[in-house]
Amino acid sequence: MAFKIPKATTPQEVAARLKNGEKLNLLDVREPDEWASGHVAGAKHIPLGQLTERLKELDPSKETIVICRSGNRSGLACELLSEKGFDVVNMTGGLNAWTEKLV
């Protein structure tokens, strides 16, 4: 099976889509302490280490934008989810590049 490069988006594109009222499926794969310090409103939290066991919580038929701190863990999560048939997009730069308000 050939390696498939996951789709990517920027924090600015995600923020613009949210501001336009789009309902996005956002998945934050950071650790619980990182999540508690602030996250994008409406995001679902599943730490990367729990992702395999919690796949049933996600809808493979809907595009999911995956978020982490810098884009590395979200990239790994995208690879894993893509192999399982999910439609995923990596938010490159992660929350380090996010300039909007966190909750």
Sheet-wide strand order for 25-28:
7-9, 88-91, 64-67, 25-28, 44-45
Cα–Cα distance for residue pair 19/29, rounded to 1 Å: 22
Q: Of 51, 68, 80, 88, which one is the catalytic site residue?
A: 68
In this prediction, residue 4 has a pLDDT band, given cuts at 50, 70 and 90, of: low
**pTM for this structure?**
0.93
User: 83-93 pLDDT, tens per residue?
Assistant: 999 999 999 99
pLDDT over threshold 60, residue 2? no
Instruction: Give me the percent of the chain exceeding a pLDDT of 70.
Output: 94
Verify whether residue 78 is a known catalytic residue: no
Q: What is the pLDDT of residues 47-77, one digit of tens each?
A: 999 999 999 999 999 999 999 999 999 999 9
Yes or no: say if 48 and 76 are a contact pair by the CB < 8 Å rule: yes
74: its two tokens: 């979200």
SS3 86: coil
Which architecture does CATH list for 7-97?
3-Layer(aba) Sandwich (3.40)
CA dist., res. 55 & res. 57, Å (int): 5
